């Protein structure tokens, strides 16, 4: 089906985007790559009165080095993020996760900011951003602010983004020297993750010094598996059985969805297995 | 001008010719039905029921009728001229046929049932207005499970029929005179310490053909004939059925199937949507278009399979089968499509597989539920049957501790026993199951994989290896008209073709079978080239249009080559016979002195000759014809086979099961098939690859799911998972050839082999991997969740027992 009729603007600056959103009121929606919004519009599950398109805001495509952080423009496509040398060097987990999203056509269209703002708990990027302690930059009528990933995701398809605000960038602290892996479990290749685990580890003196684990589709938002992260600290990097055992608790305490691809019990089990695999591969990937 | 010298000397049949049609199909530069735009055309949107069983208490169309661009809004009450949709197979005397009107009148019986139609000047306007139609429903109890539907206190889908049983149909070897009494044989087996009796209940999941191009219809009522373009497999059958049921006569209706983007049986139907577009076009006297969305397709186009199979197999301890009893419950859904009630009984002829079974019985109960109707899908009854027998062969092997190949070998028909009269009353013409199986085992490295399997079991590897086996035969090539008649099928099974000889030496082949992706234009040109000596490039196919190809039975049941191809060859041979007297006249020779070889008549013992193109030109000029000769070389032929076609083969699947996650990965798939003489080996391979992928889809991923209250919960391709290229292995295929004796080309059918053989091969493989863990059954699809849950259940049972 065609979407319900709507107005459309494509401003060239963030200021104009914010202005258009506030002029458009509650029924105005930002469109970035359109990979989540367009299907919803076509199924008439949403009927915004105005689409504010980011495609002409060139500044939002930029990926830059900002000292201790990497700043990825919200309009950067998954393809761009997955292949960008800066991202691959300083935030390998983000690049690997971006490369796992959808298929090539989707990765050429979909954007990191769009994916995060959509806040589908089965979306891939949230877990990776959480795992690397990333934060989001938002700009609205009252100026700009930075929100930590953990505070950004509020509920199923719901974020801390206020009406009139737009996600402009994702800030990722550099994780130079960390190993990482995104372990995604799907029923068919081209489907949402039943569960996925984003893992990053730092190894020092043959032992895990720090571990970060993000979970996809294990609740109403992306999650961190704090207990498993702590359990991994001090584990010998070469002892894969011990790494797996330490990561096996990743699903505990979560309340994942129940659908034909997985019961909550199954998903909790999967999270533990996949976390173990992700951590082992992350350790192997340490430079 | 063409001369036969342009043609390569080698036979076309057997060449892997690239497909003539692929340039336009693969680039998308063709005309699909939805691409058609006609002057003044209006668009339809359908209002579909959101509930599964209800009385319609009111429909308010006021707002929709007043919406911008709306030309008209109709409910079932507003269309008194609509006729009930047809069925084409009265399977039994006790068949109950519920009324299915293009627009529902008074009640709805499944989610997606059509309650109103909106016509507007644009598709957008029609969609907008459809959302404004306000329908009130008084909801009733739903019937979703076919077994529960048979219970005495079940609600009824159609109360006026007084039962949820649509029909019963049975056959047994005593009545057929082909074998013993099955009950007696099973009783004897139970009393015999040297026999085993195995009882299993298997489930066939409900799936959908998932063709790529959604169904689309355009009707133009503004010319001498009303023209319907439809993305259908069956333009000829559709024309007749619409003329018989709707207010248009056959001679007033022309049906065209342009290029069609896949059907797989899903477009072997006369649909209410087609009837509705026709009805509204006739009302408005304007061209009308309707194209469904994917979600509409999922809740309206017919589904398939959905059976419960209660199977009893008796065998001696050496593995030889003594009896097989099949008690089937088949879910029809809420209504009957043209073949719905008959699909399960096609399986009745196939549950015996390739085996010699001395006593056999098949009994089927067709049941109504509040779901979309089931009907044909690639294989149509035979994949279900093959699944049943091939799963049971593995159960027998396990029970007796025999290798699954060995237990099959001890029962199958030997090469020297053909033609073989089966216990189900068919005669298999040819085959060599040993040859195909031996080749498959060799390609697969069966012994090597068994050794690896043993190592993995020994080491308790979290990834277990399973080997899945399926040896199959398939009843295809529909069909002998007499046999169809004996089954009360509503049509014949012949096929028709004509050959038009053009004065420039080119050829048009008008074939009654209609392609929707099979490569007819290529394979048929190969056949005609060999008959007439005309180069492959100079032969074109005309099909899918009742005006240009007036006679045809269309495409389904793997009939295009084995039935349609024979009609084409027959027509080509008639061209040669018509050409002979003119050739003799031009060569001033006696017709009996002419030798004919691939397009050239030569006077015996001389080098004087005339080619078919030369004769075609002379015929067209008609300047010098023998007295009384009609100036026409064109010829037609109708072929009606005397028997079905029986392709066979051996499929072997190597599956890895990750016992930690339940994920099944298909590591290798070998299939060696005997589909008779190959006309185009590349096209055969394509058919096999596509069929396998769909069969793997049924086995591992695909399932139409309904909630308990009748909501379709797998209504989009995000929920209904079909495999993509990365989900399947690089298939390894080979062929063995025994000539079919049922046609002069020696060809057998191929289109449905993959969907028939793959599901049991996969499921047998998954179970083979997991039996040591105590897992004895997993219903399709074998999703990670189900496999993991089965492993957990088996472990806790084992734990509890020890």
Clarify whether residues B335 and B439 are in a common domain.
yes
CATH number of the domain where residue B633 is located? 3.30.365.10
| Chain A residue closest in CA terms to B792 | A266
- B15-29 confidence digits (pLDDT tens): 999 999 999 998 888
B420–chain A Cβ distance below 8 A for any pair = no
The answer to whether position B413 is within a domain reads: yes
pTM more than 0.90? yes
Beta-sheet pairing, B664-674 with B107-108: unpaired
- Taking alpha carbons only, the member of B107, B103, B98, B99 closest to residue B57 is B107
First to last CA, chain B: 85
Q: What angle do CA B95, B100, B101 make, to 5 degrees?
A: 150
Instruction: Give yes or no for a contact between A187 and B784, defined as CB atoms under 8 angstroms apart.
Output: yes
Please tell me the distance in Å from B702's CA to the nearest CA on chain A.
10
The answer to whether position B206 is within a domain reads: no
Predicted interface score ipTM higher than 0.90 = yes
| Binding-face residues of B in 696-755 toward A, CB within 8 A | 701, 703, 705, 713-714, 718-719, 721-724, 726-727
Please tell me the distance in Å from B727's CA to the nearest CA on chain A.
6
Q: What angle do CA B244, B249, B255 make, to 5 degrees?
A: 90
Clarify whether residues B545 and B625 are in a common domain.
yes
Instruction: Give yes or no for a contact between A139 and A164, defined as CB atoms under 8 angstroms apart.
Output: no
- A24-60 confidence digits (pLDDT tens): 988 999 999 999 999 999 988 889 999 999 999 999 9
Clarify whether residues B461 and B423 are in a common domain.
yes
Pair of tokens at residue B110: 């499944």
What lies within 8 Å, CB to CB, of B670 at 6+ separation is B440, B443, B444, B651, B652, B653, B731, B732, B733, B734
List, in sequence order, every residue forming a beta bridge with B330; answer none if it has no partner: B307, B366
- Taking alpha carbons only, the member of B545, B505, B510, B544 closest to residue B524 is B510
* Domain-terminating residue out of B621, B639, B657: B639
List, in sequence order, every residue forming a beta bridge with B596; answer none if it has no partner: B601
- Mean per-residue pLDDT over chain B, rounded: 96
User: Does A261 contact B724 at a Cβ distance shorter than 8 Å?
Assistant: no
What value does the mean pLDDT take over residues B154-182?
Answer: 97
| Chain A residue closest in CA terms to B696 | A188
First to last CA, chain A: 49
What value does the mean pLDDT take over residues B553-559?
Answer: 94
A153–chain B Cβ distance below 8 A for any pair = no
Residue B494 and residue B508: Cα distance in Å, rounded? 21
Beta-sheet pairing, B600-603 with B594-597: antiparallel
Instruction: Give yes or no for a contact between B244 and B251, defined as CB atoms under 8 angstroms apart.
Output: no
Residue B773 and residue B184: Cα distance in Å, rounded? 36
- B690-717 confidence digits (pLDDT tens): 999 999 999 999 999 999 999 999 999 9
Residue B362: in which H helix or E strand, if any? Answer: strand B360-368
User: Does B661 contact A188 at a Cβ distance shorter than 8 Å?
Assistant: no
The answer to whether position B615 is within a domain reads: yes
What value does the mean pLDDT take over residues B576-591?
Answer: 96
| Binding-face residues of A in 89-128 toward B, CB within 8 A | none
How much is the pLDDT for B225?
97
Q: Is the pLDDT of residue B802 over 70?
A: no
Residue B603: which domain range? 4-30+494-639
A43–chain B Cβ distance below 8 A for any pair = yes
User: Does B718 contact A189 at a Cβ distance shorter than 8 Å?
Assistant: no
How much is the pLDDT for B799?
73
For residue B500, CA distances in Å to B20, B541, B576 come to 19, 10, 12
Residue B38 and residue B4: Cα distance in Å, rounded? 43
Report residue A190's pLDDT band, with 50, 70 and 90 as the boundaries.
confident
- Taking alpha carbons only, the member of B527, B425, B428, B524 closest to residue B477 is B428
Clarify whether residues B505 and B629 are in a common domain.
yes
Residue B612 and residue B633: Cα distance in Å, rounded? 10
* Domain-terminating residue out of B579, B608, B639: B639
Pair of tokens at residue B627: 């007295």
- Secondary structure class of B434 (helix, strand, coil): helix
Cα-flanking dihedrals φ and ψ of residue A277, to 5°?
A: -65, -40
- A235-280 confidence digits (pLDDT tens): 999 999 999 999 999 999 999 999 999 999 999 999 999 999 999 9
Alpha helices in B161-251 (DSSP H): 173-176, 182-191, 235-245
Which site among A188, A194, A240, A266 would you substitute to test the B interface, given the most B Cβ atoms closer than 10 Å to its Cβ?
A: A188
Please tell me the distance in Å from A10's CA to the nearest CA on chain B.
24
Report residue B5's pLDDT band, with 50, 70 and 90 as the boundaries.
low
What value does the mean pLDDT take over residues B319-348?
Answer: 97
The answer to whether position B663 is within a domain reads: yes
B663–chain A Cβ distance below 8 A for any pair = yes
Clarify whether residues B631 and B651 are in a common domain.
no
How much is the pLDDT for B4?
52
Clarify whether residues B323 and B222 are in a common domain.
no
User: Does B724 contact A262 at a Cβ distance shorter than 8 Å?
Assistant: no
For residue B63, CA distances in Å to B71, B119, B372 come to 13, 14, 30
Clarify whether residues B538 and B556 are in a common domain.
yes
B563 DSSP 8-state letter: I
Instruction: Count CA atoms closer than 13 A to B675's CA, side-chain side.
Output: 28
User: Does A44 contact B726 at a Cβ distance shorter than 8 Å?
Assistant: no
Residue A241 and residue A233: Cα distance in Å, rounded? 14
User: Does B124 contact A263 at a Cβ distance shorter than 8 Å?
Assistant: no
Clarify whether residues B319 and B427 are in a common domain.
yes
Q: Is the pLDDT of residue B796 over 80?
A: yes
Residue B140 and residue B55: Cα distance in Å, rounded? 7
Which site among B67, B785, B786, B792 would you substitute to test the A interface, given the most A Cβ atoms closer than 10 Å to its Cβ?
A: B785
User: Does A270 contact B661 at a Cβ distance shorter than 8 Å?
Assistant: yes
CATH number of the domain where residue B90 is located? 3.90.1170.50
Q: Is the pLDDT of residue B580 over 70?
A: yes
User: Does B293 contact A1 at a Cβ distance shorter than 8 Å?
Assistant: yes
Clarify whether residues B287 and B388 are in a common domain.
no
How large a percentage of chain B has pLDDT more than 90? 97
Clarify whether residues B608 and B537 are in a common domain.
yes
The answer to whether position B203 is within a domain reads: no
Report residue B624's pLDDT band, with 50, 70 and 90 as the boundaries.
very high
Clarify whether residues B396 and B513 are in a common domain.
no
The answer to whether position B528 is within a domain reads: yes
- Mean per-residue pLDDT over chain A, rounded: 96
Name the residue with higher pLDDT: B90 or B4: B90
B788–chain A Cβ distance below 8 A for any pair = yes
Chain A residues whose CB is inside 8 A of the B660 CB are 273
The answer to whether position B177 is within a domain reads: no
Q: Domains in chain B: how many in total?
A: 3
- B355-402 confidence digits (pLDDT tens): 999 999 999 999 999 999 999 999 999 999 999 999 999 999 999 999
Cis amide linkage into residue B232, ω under 30° from 0: no
A241–chain B Cβ distance below 8 A for any pair = no
Clarify whether residues B373 and B331 are in a common domain.
yes
What lies within 8 Å, CB to CB, of B376 at 6+ separation is B265, B266, B268, B269, B302, B304, B339, B343, B556, B557
How much is the pLDDT for B531?
97
The answer to whether position B489 is within a domain reads: no
Beta-sheet pairing, B195-207 with B253-256: unpaired
Size of interface A-B (CB pairs under 8 A): 55
What value does the mean pLDDT take over residues B617-626?
Answer: 96
* Domain-terminating residue out of B639, B662, B691: B639
- Secondary structure class of A115 (helix, strand, coil): helix
Residue A117 and residue A104: Cα distance in Å, rounded? 21
- A90-111 confidence digits (pLDDT tens): 999 999 999 999 999 999 999 9
Burial class of residue A162 (count of CB atoms within 10 Å of its CB; 0-12, 13-18, 19+) = exposed
How much is the pLDDT for A104?
94
């Amino acid at each position: 089906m065609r979407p319900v009729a709507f107005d459309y603007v494509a401003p060239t600056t963030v200021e104009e985007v914010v202005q258009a959103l506030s002029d458009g009121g509650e029924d105005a929606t930002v469109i970035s790559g359109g990979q989540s919004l367009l299907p919803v519009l076509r199924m008439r599950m949403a009927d915004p009165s105005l689409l504010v398109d980011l495609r002409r805001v060139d500044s939002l495509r930029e990926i830059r080095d900002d000292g201790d952080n990497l700043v990825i423009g919200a309009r950067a496509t998954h393809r761009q993020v997955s292949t960008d040398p800066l991202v691959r060097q300083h935030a390998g987990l983000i690049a690997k996760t971006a490369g796992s999203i959808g298929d090539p056509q989707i990765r050429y269209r979909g954007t990191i900011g769009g994916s995060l703002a959509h806040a589908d708990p089965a979306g891939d990027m949230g877990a990776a951003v959480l795992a690397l302690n990333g934060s989001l930059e938002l700009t609205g009528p009252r100026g700009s602010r930075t929100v930590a990933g953990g505070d950004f995701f509020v509920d199923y398809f719901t974020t801390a983004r206020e009406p009139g605000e737009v996600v402009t960038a994702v800030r990722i602290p550099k994780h130079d020297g960390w190993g990482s892996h995104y372990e995604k479990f799907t029923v068919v290749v081209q489907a949402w993750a039943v569960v996925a685990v984003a893992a990053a580890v730092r190894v020092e003196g043959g032992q895990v010094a720090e571990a970060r684990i993000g979970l996809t589709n294990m609740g109403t938002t992306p999650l961190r598996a704090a207990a498993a992260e702590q359990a991994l600290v001090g584990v010998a990097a070469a002892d894969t059985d011990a790494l797996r055992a330490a990561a096996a608790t990743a699903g505990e305490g979560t309340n994942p969805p129940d659908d034909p691809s997985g019961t909550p019990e199954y998903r909790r089990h999967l999270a533990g297995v996949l976390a173990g695999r992700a951590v082992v591969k992350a350790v192997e990937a340490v430079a | 001008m063409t001369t036969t010298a342009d043609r390569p000397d080698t036979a076309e049949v057997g060449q892997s010719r690239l497909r003539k049609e692929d340039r336009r199909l693969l680039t998308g530069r063709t005309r699909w039905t939805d691409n058609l735009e006609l002057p003044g055309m209006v668009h339809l949107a359908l209002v579909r029921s959101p509930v599964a069983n209800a009385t319609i208490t009111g429909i308010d169309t006021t707002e929709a009728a007043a919406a911008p661009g709306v030309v008209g809004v109709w409910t079932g009450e507003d269309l008194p001229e609509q006729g009930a949709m047809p069925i084409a197979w009265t399977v039994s005397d006790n068949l109950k046929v519920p009324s299915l009107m293009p627009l529902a009148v008074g009640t709805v019986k499944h989610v997606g049932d059509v309650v109103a139609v909106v016509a507007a000047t644009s598709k957008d306007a029609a969609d907008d207005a459809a959302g404004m139609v306000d329908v009130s429903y008084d909801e009733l109890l739903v019937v979703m499970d076919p077994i529960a539907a048979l219970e005495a206190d079940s609600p009824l889908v159609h109360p006026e029929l007084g039962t949820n049983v649509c029909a019963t149909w049975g056959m047994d070897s005593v009545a057929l005179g082909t074998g013993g009494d099955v009950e007696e044989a099973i009783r004897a087996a139970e009393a015999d310490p040297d026999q085993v009796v195995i009882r299993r209940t298997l489930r066939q999941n409900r799936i959908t053909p998932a063709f790529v191009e959604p169904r689309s219809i355009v009707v133009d009522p503004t010319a001498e004939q009303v023209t319907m373009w439809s993305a259908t497999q069956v333009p000829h059958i559709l024309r007749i059925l619409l003329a018989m049921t709707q207010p248009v006569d056959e001679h007033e209706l022309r049906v065209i199937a342009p290029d069609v983007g896949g059907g797989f049986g899903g477009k072997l139907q006369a649909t209410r949507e087609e009837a509705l577009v026709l009805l509204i076009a006739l009302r408005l006297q304007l061209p009308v278009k309707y194209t469904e969305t994917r979600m509409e397709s999922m809740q309206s186009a017919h589904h398939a399979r959905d059976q419960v199979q209660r199977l009893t197999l008796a065998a001696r301890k050496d593995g030889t089968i003594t009896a097989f009893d099949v008690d089937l419950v088949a879910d029809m859904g809420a209504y009957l499509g043209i073949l719905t009630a008959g699909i399960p009984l096609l399986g009745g002829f196939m549950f015996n597989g390739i085996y010699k079974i001395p006593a056999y019985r098949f009994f089927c109960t067709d049941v109504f539920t509040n779901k979309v109707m089931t009907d044909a899908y690639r294989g149509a009854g035979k994949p279900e049957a093959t699944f049943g027998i091939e799963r049971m062969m593995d159960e027998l092997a396990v029970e007796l501790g025999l290798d699954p190949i060995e237990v099959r070998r001890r029962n199958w028909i030997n090469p020297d026993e053909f033609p073989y009269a089966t216990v189900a009353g068919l005669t298999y013409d040819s085959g060599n199951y040993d040859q195909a199986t031996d080749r498959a085992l060799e390609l697969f490295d069966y012994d090597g994989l068994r050794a690896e399997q043993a190592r993995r079991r020994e080491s308790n590897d979290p990834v277990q290896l399973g080997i899945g086996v399926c040896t199959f035969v398939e009843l295809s090539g529909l069909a002998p008209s007499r046999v169809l008649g004996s089954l009360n099928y509503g049509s014949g099974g012949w096929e028709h073709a004509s050959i038009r000889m053009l004065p420039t030496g080119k050829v048009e082949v008008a074939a009654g079978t209609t392609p929707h992706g099979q490569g007819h234009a290529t394979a048929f040109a190969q056949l005609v080239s060999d008959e007439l000596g005309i180069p492959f490039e100079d032969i074109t196919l005309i099909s899918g249009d009742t005006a240009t190809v007036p006679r045809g039975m269309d495409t389904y049941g793997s009939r295009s080559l084995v039935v349609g191809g024979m009609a084409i060859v027959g027509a080509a041979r008639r061209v040669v016979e018509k050409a002979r007297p003119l050739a003799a006249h031009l060569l001033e020779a006696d017709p009996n002195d002419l030798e004919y070889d691939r397009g050239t008549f030569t006077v015996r013992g001389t080098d004087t000759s005339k080619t078919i193109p030369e004769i075609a030109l002379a015929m067209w000029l008609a300047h010098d014809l023998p007295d009384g000769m009609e100036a026409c070389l064109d010829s037609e032929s109708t072929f009606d086979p005397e028997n079905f076609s029986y392709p066979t083969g051996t499929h072997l699947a190597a599956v890895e099961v990750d016992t930690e996650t339940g994920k099944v990965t298909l590591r290798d798939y070998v299939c060696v098939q005997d589909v008779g003489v190959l006309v185009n080996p590349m096209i055969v391979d394509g058919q096999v690859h596509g069929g396998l992928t769909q069969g793997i889809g049924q086995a591992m991923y695909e399932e139409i799911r309904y909630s308990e209250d009748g909501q379709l919960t797998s209504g989009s391709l995000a929920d209904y998972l079909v495999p993509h290229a990365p989900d399947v292995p690089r298939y390894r295929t080979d062929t063995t050839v025994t000539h079919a004796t049922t046609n002069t080309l020696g060809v057998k059918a191929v289109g449905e082999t993959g969907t028939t053989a793959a599901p049991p091969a996969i499921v047998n493989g998954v179970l083979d991997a997991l039996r040591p863990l105590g897992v004895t059954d997993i219903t399709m699809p074998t999703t990670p969740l189900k496999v993991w849950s089965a492993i957990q259940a088996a472990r806790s049972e084992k734990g509890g027992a020890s």
